[in-house]
């Protein structure tokens, strides 16, 4: 199971990373906090202090077209907020 799907790179998460040393990831819905902690520590070589997770349900979407109403649903996903120890940091932009 691939635990970490992708990092969350938004203005809010970038600010939290600089100020509070917190980083966000979209993770597999079946992963627990211990698996997420181990995956982040292995992938980025940092020490994780705490992990907070939340599950977002998919939103219903509808669109009006010439042929009528097209409706669907966004995917549900799980988000993890990782707090690192004081001197550690993650640089998402170093591999670009």
Domain extent, residue 36, equals: 4-84
Confidence of residue 94 (pLDDT cuts 50, 70, 90): confident
CA distance 38 to 53: 14
**Domain annotation covers residue 55:** yes
**Domain annotation covers residue 39:** yes
Cα 3 to Cα 34, 44, 57, 66: the distances in Å are 11, 14, 19, 41
pLDDT confidence of residue 95: 64
Confidence (pTM): 0.84
**Domain annotation covers residue 96:** no
**Domain annotation covers residue 89:** no
CATH of the domain at 78: 3.30.70.330
**Domain annotation covers residue 91:** no
| pLDDT tens for each residue of 27-77 | 999 999 999 999 999 999 999 999 999 999 999 999 999 999 999 999 999
Q: Structurally, how many domains does the chain consist of?
A: 1
């Amino acid at each position: 199971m691939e635990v970490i799907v992708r990092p969350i790179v938004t203005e809010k998460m970038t600010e939290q990373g600089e100020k509070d040393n917190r980083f966000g990831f979209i993770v597999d819905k079946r992963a627990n906090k211990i698996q997420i902690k181990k995956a982040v520590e292995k992938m980025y070589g940092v020490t994780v202090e705490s992990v907070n997770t939340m599950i977002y349900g998919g939103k219903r979407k509808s669109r009006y077209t010439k042929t009528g109403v097209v409706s669907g649903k966004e995917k549900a996903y799980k988000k993890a907020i990782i707090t690192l120890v004081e001197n550690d940091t993650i640089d998402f932009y170093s591999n670009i």
